[in-house]
């Protein structure tokens, strides 16, 4: 693992230790995190036809088989965390691993071929428009943003200039949140 991978791993572990290890807390008590069995990781890699990124592999093996992270939690591998009856392997096709469910059909996915995170937001997409879009980050970026509280759920928007459907930028998220809830940091 790279030095950045190790820094992000440590940041995720610190956030979990602080008790803030899942964004959308279910109404029932959170189960303790249990690492994935090495066989579950091997199965995922065999099904995908390639290795998991080192950070994700280490999180599964050392921290938990899902159940922590953004949205309703990182989806687990075999025997791990599920949301709505699905785990990370349920939709594994073409080397794309579903990472988490944000609710309302919105998900984050990891393309294992190039390491890029994709968002999927089927809610506003009109017929014929793709609900999937690149989020221009890797799994390391994704977990780094989550660990510091700046990861937003994927959100499909229509560009006001081009009319094209695309993923929202962080600036657009900030503006939307400020419009709905006011500035995040009041001026002194």
Burial class from Cβ neighbours inside 10 Å (0-12, 13-18, 19+) for residue 182 reads: exposed
In the chain, domain spans: 3-181
Task: State the CB neighbour count (10 A cutoff) for residue 91.
Answer: 13
Tell me if 55 sits within 8 A of 9, measured CB to CB: yes
Q: What is the pLDDT of residue 51?
A: 94
Q: Which of 73, 122, 79, 123 is nearest to 98 (CA)?
A: 73
Judged by DSSP in three states, 137 sits in strand
Tens place of pLDDT per residue across the chain (188 aa):
899 999 999 999 999 988 877 777 655 566 789 999 999 999 999 999 999 999 999 999 999 999 999 999 999 999 999 988 899 998 787 789 999 999 999 999 999 999 999 999 998 778 888 899 999 999 999 999 999 999 999 999 999 899 999 999 988 888 887 887 776 554 43
Cα distance between residue 89 and residue 68, in whole Å: 17
pTM exceeding 0.85? yes
Structure token digits, residue 107: 């998900």
Burial category of 39 from C-beta neighbours within 10 Å (exposed 0-12, middle 13-18, buried 19 and up): exposed
* CA-closest candidate to residue 4, choices 107, 151, 137: 137
Position 30 scores a pLDDT of 67
Distance CA 98, CA 119 (A): 10
């Amino acid at each position: 693992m790279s030095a950045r991978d190790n820094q992000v791993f440590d940041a995720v572990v610190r956030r979990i230790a602080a008790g803030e290890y899942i964004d959308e807390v279910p109404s029932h008590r959170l189960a303790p995190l249990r690492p994935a069995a090495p066989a579950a990781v091997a199965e995922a890699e065999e099904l995908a036809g390639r290795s998991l990124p080192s950070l994700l592999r280490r999180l599964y093996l050392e921290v938990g088989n899902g159940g922590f992270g953004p949205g309703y939690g990182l989806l687990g591998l075999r025997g791990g965390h599920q949301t709505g009856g699905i785990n990370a392997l349920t939709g594994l096709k073409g080397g794309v691993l579903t990472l988490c469910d944000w609710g309302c059909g919105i998900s984050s996915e990891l393309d294992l071929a190039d390491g890029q995170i994709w968002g999927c937001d089927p809610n506003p997409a009109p017929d014929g428009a793709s609900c999937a879009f690149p989020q221009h980050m890797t799994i390391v970026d994704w977990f780094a943003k989550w660990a510091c509280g700046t990861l937003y759920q994927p959100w499909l928007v229509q560009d006001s200039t081009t009319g094209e459907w695309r993923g929202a930028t962080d600036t657009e998220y900030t503006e939307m949140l400020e419009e709905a809830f006011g500035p995040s940091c009041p001026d002194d």
